[in-house]
Amino acid sequence: MFPSSESTQPSPATEAAEYSPEERAILLQLAHRSIEATLDGRQLDLTPPNAHLSEPRGAFTTLHLRGRLRGCIGYVLPNQPLYQTVAETAKAAAFDDPRFEPVTREEAAALKVDISVLSPLEPIAPADVVIGKHGLVVTQGSRRGLLLPQVPVEWNWNQETFLSQTCMKAGLAADAWLSGAELQAFTAEVFGEE
């Protein structure tokens, strides 16, 4: 699981949506239900909603409270069905993000959820990174850092700054992308609550 320090606003380079408005609503409601079930100390009924949402996908769930980041956790790799990934990452963002205290019952009622569904990781050359389209994973040795596609747009970063910031997120030198760090890219379909 990766904690993520970014907020997730829809990217301006959004391609055709893979998930219907109904599927998006199911996943957003599932995130809230997962948090509520944890607060109530009960197991969440995880019945597969449909075949599409049962496909393995990586995803991040981001929580906002009164416009501020309140937690963000995700899985990069598609290790389980998307609906299960959303349920787990919502719970983890609410209760296990090491940067925040666990969400309280009072806060849970006011949380806004954003979900980023990730494409598979693909190797990429630094020159091919497109701001607003690609998220990045930088790996060198045991260090790994990730930034979602919307982050460089929000911060108005150019390509070099995006590469450097991703390296620093991994705890590497800012120029590690020039000296042997592995670069992988992904795209994300981002949706959330107003």
Each residue's pLDDT tens digit, 52-96:
999 999 999 999 999 999 999 999 889 999 999 999 999 999 999
pTM of the entire predicted model: 0.81
φ, ψ for residue 4, nearest 5 deg: -130, 130
Cα separations (Å) of 95 from 88, 91, 98?
11, 6, 9
Cα separations (Å) of 66 from 11, 110, 168?
21, 8, 28
Domains of the chain, start order: 2-8+17-118 (3.30.700.20), 122-187 (3.30.1490.150)
The pLDDT value recorded for residue 15 is 55
The model's pLDDT over 100-154, given as tens digits with 9 standing for 90+, comes to 999 999 999 999 999 999 998 999 999 999 999 999 999 999 999 999 898 899 8
